[in-house]
Amino acid sequence: MLLEKSRGAGWNVEVRGVDRGAMERLDQALWSGPPEGFLPHGLVGGDHDADQLILLTMGESAVNGATCVMSVHGATVSPQEVKDAERVCVLFDGHDGDALAAARVQWKTLTDAGCSAQYWSQDSGRWEKKAEK
């Protein structure tokens, strides 16, 4: 859903993970989705990385001109990236204690550096804003 919304806004997206295997599984899931919901994308290391509207990476420099960065599986983003991007999303499983702790550290690092941030949760089944700084 977030990828569709980001593309709808006209943004090129980098989905940044930390594990190649996990990003390969995400790549397969995106290729296997319903045809009407297909999202053009690529896994970093292909011949056409610069042309990808959505590029799945493991922290390498996204060469697709990404204006939206989505961090998954604990991948970090820098305060400068937050300031330069149209949107940065740090996605994590709030039921995973380690993922939650890492997200809290990232929130503090970014907000201490002057980045504005919003925390959204899907606990009730729909997205609700829980905090803003």
CATH of residue 13's domain is 3.40.50.10110
Q: Consecutive 10-residue runs of the chain (133 residues): their mean pLDDT? A: 93 96 95 85 94 92 91 95 95 94 95 95 87 92
- Cα 11 to Cα 14, 53, 76: the distances in Å are 10, 8, 20
In this prediction, residue 125 carries a pLDDT of: 82
The pTM of this model reads 0.92
In this prediction, residue 35 carries a pLDDT of: 81
- Domain range for 85 is 2-132
In this prediction, residue 55 carries a pLDDT of: 97
Q: 37, 48, 35: which is closest to 7 by C-alpha?
A: 37
Spatial separation of the C-alpha atoms in residues 77 and 50, rounded to whole Å: 20
**83-121 burial, b for 16+ CB within 10 Å, e for fewer?**
eebeebbbebeeeeeebeebbeebbeebeeeebeeeeee
Q: 15, 13, 9: which is closest to 90 by C-alpha?
A: 15
What's the token pair of residue 91?
A: 């996605």
Q: 97, 102, 103, 132: which is closest to 118 by C-alpha?
A: 132
In this prediction, residue 88 carries a pLDDT of: 96
Residue 128's DSSP bridge partners are 121
In this prediction, residue 1 carries a pLDDT of: 86
Spatial separation of the C-alpha atoms in residues 133 and 126, rounded to whole Å: 21
Report the number of distinct structural domains present in the chain: 1
